[in-house]
Amino acid sequence: MAYRDFLEPDQIPSKTDPSGRGAGRTVDTRLVGGDMALRRANGHPSNISGEWLYDPIFKDEDLAELKAWCSPDDPRPLVVEIGFQRARFARAFCLENPGVRYMGFEVRKKFCEDASEYLVAGGVDNARLALVDARQALPELVPPGTLDTLLAFFPDPWWKKRHMKKRLVSRDFAAESADLLKIGGKLIVKTDVEGYADWAEEEMRAEPRFEVTRLEDPAAGLPPTQRERRCAIHGRPTWAMVAIRRT
């Protein structure tokens, strides 16, 4: 359900449009951005339901609630996770950090509904989940320069060369992330694919507003995701990179 799949070629935002936020960036690899109105016009309502679970594309009231949740007027730090899937990280993190606002994005309905139940069962009330492509939703929900932390844990590796343009992490993604983050804010990427770690680090380093470090502790001092737990059980290595938004 990629963002591009809902667009006709002539609807794709122009990379030469000097007014667009993605101006000058490669359209194919532009991963944060897009127009939710186009998704609305071409997609189907989801009929999802769940506590703390929102459908910002097809429900205007959900979009409004999420905008309020992500508003910079709220003094609590805002932490965004792209692809929360089983919400193992989300639940542990929110319980450990009751003073933060967590905002999670996931494109698969079943994961959203299961995650919602899992958070409710854990007594979490500082998380909001959205069934939406983070690339479409982030620019709508998070004003530039207001995000504290952006998390992309174990993004799909897209192994084949012709599919690599679908990888979440790219230099356009790094640029869009830098737009959203506060000075001192962090983008943290974890992966269990060494080639992806090298790729991600290089793409993040291409963004001049980022100071990028490969972490010695691949857990990054954070609770594990489902995939990370599996890696630990099977003795598979993982890698983590952090990019700090500097002036």
Ligand X SMILES: C[S@@+](CC[C@H](N)C(=O)[O-])C[C@H]1O[C@@H](n2cnc3c(N)ncnc32)[C@H](O)[C@@H]1O
Contacts to ligand X from residues 17-56, by CB under 6 A: none
For the chain, give percent helix, strand, coil, nearest 5: 35, 20, 45
Residue 176 or 207 with smaller CB distance to ligand X = 176
Residue 140 or 228 with smaller CB distance to ligand X = 228
Cβ proximity of 116 and 52 under 8 Å: yes
With CB under 6 A as the contact rule, the residue among 11, 49, 108, 163 that binds ligand X is 108
With CB under 6 A as the contact rule, the residue among 25, 39, 128, 135 that binds ligand X is 135
Position 104 contacts ligand X (CB under 6 A): no
| Residue 176 Cβ vs ligand X, minimum distance, rounded to whole Å | 12
156 classed as catalytic = yes
Position 226 contacts ligand X (CB under 6 A): yes
| 3-class SS of residue 71 | coil
Sheet with 239-245: strands ordered across? 53-54, 127-131, 101-106, 78-82, 147-153, 181-191, 239-245, 210-214
Q: Which one of the spans 47-55, 102-110, 174-182, 233-241 is the region binding ligand X (CB under 6 A)? A: 102-110
The answer for 69, left when phi > 0, alpha when psi is -120 to 50, beta otherwise, is alpha
| Set 62, 148, 156, 179: catalytic member | 156
Residues 112 and 104: their CA atoms lie apart, in Å, by 9
Position 236 contacts ligand X (CB under 6 A): no
Q: Which one of the spans 45-53, 68-76, 100-108, 176-184 is the region binding ligand X (CB under 6 A)? A: 100-108
Cα–Cα nearest to 141, from 128, 153, 152 = 128
Position 107 contacts ligand X (CB under 6 A): yes
Residues 95 and 80: their CA atoms lie apart, in Å, by 15
With CB under 6 A as the contact rule, the residue among 53, 70, 79, 82 that binds ligand X is 82
Cα–Cα nearest to 81, from 210, 228, 246 = 228
> Can you give the binding site for ligand X, defined by CB under 6 A?
82-83, 85, 105-108, 111, 133-135, 153-156, 168, 225-228
Enumerate the active-site residues.
Answer: 156
